[in-house]
Chain A
Amino acid sequence: MSGIDEAAKGVAGTAAGDANTGAGAGDGTSAAAPRRGSDVDLGAWRGVWVNVELERGRVHPVSWELLGEGRKLADHLGVPLSGVVLGPDDASTDAAAADAIRYGADVVHVVRDPVLAHYRTDPYTKALTELVERRRPEILLLGATTLGRDLAGAVATTLGTGLTADCTELRIDDETRSLAATRPTFGGTLLCTIHTLEYRPQMATVRPRVMAMPKPDDAREGTVIDERVALDEADVVTKILSYIPDADADKAQLAWADIVVAGGRGLGKPENFRLVEELAQVLGGEYGGSRPVAQAGWIPPERQIGQTGKTIRPKLYIAAGISGAIQHRVGVEGSDVIVAINNDPNAPIMEFATYAIVGDALQILPALTESLRERKARRSGAGAHAGREAPADA
């Protein structure tokens, strides 16, 4: 939250802006002067682009998921799939470009510049918008990460084009050759499909773990194009003073776990959460919890699953003592199999779970854990006796 003086200046700035455009008073955004749709030569825009989010030497996996999805779109349209890497002039940028090809890109446009060493809205927006205007892709996809959301919004408003955020599905509409971007609305009760018909590029963001991760192909070949964009450090108002990583050592890898066991208020007491942890451990998965228990401090905040917590897409999700109110449901719907354990047969989760067990979680969880432990012990016991063969799955 900025200081009071900055807030006052911000307001004064908006007021001046409003006097000119007369539009959207008080919302603090300065809209680009809208182009007329008829000015855009749709045919001149070709290609599907995916933003490869490189930050601190690591590419966010959502970029690969988007390349996987982008591949389908590009094939349908008969156009090339490209990745865009913006980063420092070093090996991590090269590696990101090479990985992009392995994950499906035909071409990778790379901007290497020390100004892009760490993400800042201004230089990244400048670089990406210049590339887009130079190369004219018809579709531009970004991951809906903190960085991606910031960049997507800035790029879309600079280019004066349409952006559909948090899509759950992307298709091509053959009639118009446009991107059909589907996203939930009205609290997830309705899905709406949005087309940007008259402006280019058509932009969309997708949350991590919504699209499937493609398999990388080491043998794939592609072209890396070095792009030059004039960037001057002196022009960038924001300076990065230091990087302070999250102090918490309890790093959850919930979003990527194949098996997740979660507990809710139905467990009664924070002490009972160990039953959830134990089951997760035996299954080799991660543990998490619903929002109320995260808020009550039973679990650390990064283990919260649901609306403002993590979206998970595990193969197996076990929910114990969770009612499954809609905010939680939104975060777990992508699971392959949902097992709900609750002593209330009318809890919402019982309706959308694959298997619903009506019973006391405090008894069922340890029983499950115990029987799985025995099974594992027997298997590895048998394995030890029979020779070297370890069972394919635990």
Chain B
Amino acid sequence: MNRVEEKLFENRYRVDEGRAHIRIKEPDVCRDECETPSCTWACPAGCYSLGDDGSVTLSTDGCLECGTCRLLCNEHFNVEWSYPRGGYGVLYKFG
């Protein structure tokens, strides 16, 4: 089991359809100004991916709600981060 999606598949989630709890505020900033898109490798759920043109796309599936991305984006503060609505998101069976 080496891909992160395979790891995430074992987890239990309640998806809040249409309501992503994390948002990239200004996508242009990621593409044009950010030199270290560390979110794209440091997110433990692989939610952030780097495009060929330097753009960053975010998919909040599988988010483990750790907060790392919010902390890493401390140059441009381009991550709007909150917890999902109560009862949604990852639901750890073991923790």
Contacts and interface: CB of A to CB of B under 8 A. Distances in A.
Interface of A: 1, 186-188, 265, 268-269, 291-292, 295-296, 301, 308, 323, 325-327, 348
A268 B86 CA distance: 34
Main SS of chain A's interface residues? loop
B52 A291 contact: no
B59 A295 contact: yes
A292 B59 contact: yes
B10 interface: yes
Top 5 A-B pairs ranked by shortest CB distance? A325-B5, A295-B59, A296-B57, A292-B59, A187-B9
Contact of A295 (B3, B10, B20): B20
A271 to B, nearest CB: 11
Contact of B57 (A188, A292, A323): A292
B52 A268 contact: yes
A269 B51 CA distance: 8
A220 B49 CA distance: 56
A326 B6 contact: yes
Contacts of A268: 51-52
B18 interface: yes
Contacts of A327: 5, 9
Nearest to B88: A1
Given A268-B51, A325-B3, A1 B60 contact: no
B61 interface: yes
B15 interface: yes
Nearest to A308: B15
A295 B60 CA distance: 8
Given A1-B87, A186-B10, 4 more contacts: A188-B9, A292-B49, A296-B57, A323-B5
Interface in B14-47: 15, 17-18, 20
Indicate the member of B3, B9, B53 with the most A CB atoms within 10 Å. Answer: B9
A231 B31 CA distance: 61
A79 B87 CA distance: 45
Interface of B: 3, 5-6, 9-10, 15, 17-18, 20, 49, 51-53, 57-61, 85-87
Contacts of B58: 295-296
A291 B61 CA distance: 8
A296 B9 contact: no
B4 to A, nearest CB: 9
A345 to B, nearest CB: 15
B37 to A, nearest CB: 16
B18 to A, nearest CB: 7
6 contacts: A291-B59, A292-B61, A296-B59, A325-B5, A326-B6, A348-B3
A331 B53 CA distance: 31
Nearest to B3: A325
A265 B52 contact: no
A324 to B, nearest CB: 10
Indicate the member of B5, B49, B52, B87 with the most A CB atoms within 10 Å. Answer: B5
Nearest to B5: A325
B5 A1 contact: no
Nearest to A307: B9
A292 B46 CA distance: 11
Nearest to B16: A1
A1 B6 contact: no
A241 B1 CA distance: 49
Contacts of A295: 20, 58-61
Nearest to B13: A308
A186 B17 CA distance: 23
A323 B6 CA distance: 12
Contact of B9 (A265, A323, A326): A326
A188 B5 CA distance: 14
A265 B49 contact: yes
Contacts of A308: 15
A305 to B, nearest CB: 14
Contacts of A291: 59, 61
